[in-house]
């Protein structure tokens, strides 16, 4: 039987590409989303994949969502924490709500979802978790103290949980994408986006499918010796 994979923020952008890539690789894929029913319905119809709506910033909602999926489809063996937002401002102009909303979804959502699946993974002695971070969590970015802090936190969270899960064949890794062809990046002012692309050595944005390939690699059954790592897929923009 194919393994069940849950992707948060799974109906658009990197999440949607990941859903389709995992489906093509033979996984039973389920997408989570929140906030745009029309978009989710369109994705579900086009992909043939089930979609479930809840807010990853709400621990109780995550617990219920995981329980519903488990009851209807079986235990979640692969989790991809992709859901995230931006709310950019220079720190001296950033509101408390801008800070909290990004931290709660981008970092808090990672905790909420992992907390909701980790006990089952430990009991079954198998799990694959991939947390989507960002190049800006590694390099920093002016105007994104909230986002950079959340995405850097995801990397630290990944390392710690990897140590906790290692003896149970639960691998936990992060992917730090560079600037990618998504709605989030499309919202950037054209002149700023042009400068961003100029700063990428390969002189282009990533495609969502290129990020998804990294996920497929990390969640494979035979990737069990890779854990606690951050895979940077950024076109050479930032190297550690």
In the chain, domain spans = 4-233
Nearest to 230 by CA among 102, 122, 136: 136
- pLDDT per position as a tens digit, 205-222: 999 999 999 999 999 999
3-state secondary structure of 174: strand
Q: Give the pLDDT score at 1.
A: 73
Average the pLDDT over 20-32 and give the result.
Answer: 98
State yes or no: pLDDT of 184 exceeds 90: no
Specify the pLDDT at position 87: 97
Is residue 158 predicted with pLDDT exceeding 80? yes
CATH 3.90.870.20 correct for 4-233: no
Token pair belonging to 6: 């849950």
Which of the residues are catalytic? 147
Mean pLDDT of the chain: 97
Average pLDDT over residues 111-117: 99
Residues in the chain: 240
Q: pTM higher than 0.75 for the full model?
A: yes
Mean pLDDT throughout 112-130?
A: 98
Q: Which string of DSSP letters, residue by residue, matches 101-137?
A: HHIIIIIHHHHHHHHHHHHHHHHHT-EEEEEE--HHH
Pairing of strands 170-177, 230-233: parallel
Angle at 10 between CA 230 and CA 240, to 5 degrees: 15
pLDDT at 114 (0 to 100): 99
17 pLDDT above the threshold of 90: yes
Is a pLDDT exceeding 90 seen at residue 188? no
Under the banding of pLDDT at 50, 70 and 90, the label for residue 185 is: confident
């Amino acid at each position: 039987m194919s393994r069940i994979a849950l992707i948060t923020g799974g109906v658009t952008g990197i999440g949607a590409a990941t859903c389709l890539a995992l489906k093509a690789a033979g996984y039973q894929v389920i997408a989570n989303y929140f906030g745009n029913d029309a978009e989710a319905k369109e994705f579900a119809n086009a992909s043939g994949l089930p979609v479930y709506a809840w807010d990853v910033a709400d621990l109780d909602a995550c617990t219920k969502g995981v329980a519903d999926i488990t009851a209807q489809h079986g235990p979640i063996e692969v989790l991809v924490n992709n859901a995230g937002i931006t709310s950019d401002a220079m720190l001296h102009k950033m509101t408390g709500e801008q800070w909290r909303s990004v931290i709660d979804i981008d970092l808090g959502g990672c905790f909420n979802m992992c907390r909701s699946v980790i006990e089952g993974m430990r009991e079954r002695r198998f799990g694959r978790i991939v947390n989507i971070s960002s190049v800006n969590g590694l390099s920093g970015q002016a105007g994104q103290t909230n986002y950079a802090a959340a995405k850097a936190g995801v990397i630290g969270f990944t390392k710690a949980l990897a140590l906790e899960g290692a003896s149970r064949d639960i691998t936990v890794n992060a992917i730090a994408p560079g600037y990618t062809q998504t709605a989030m990046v499309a919202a950037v002012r054209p002149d700023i986006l042009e400068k961003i692309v100029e700063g990428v050595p390969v002189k282009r944005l990533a495609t969502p499918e290129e990020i998804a390939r990294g996920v497929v690699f990390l969640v494979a059954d035979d990737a069990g010796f890779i854990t606690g790592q951050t895979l940077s897929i950024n076109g050479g923009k930032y190297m550690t």
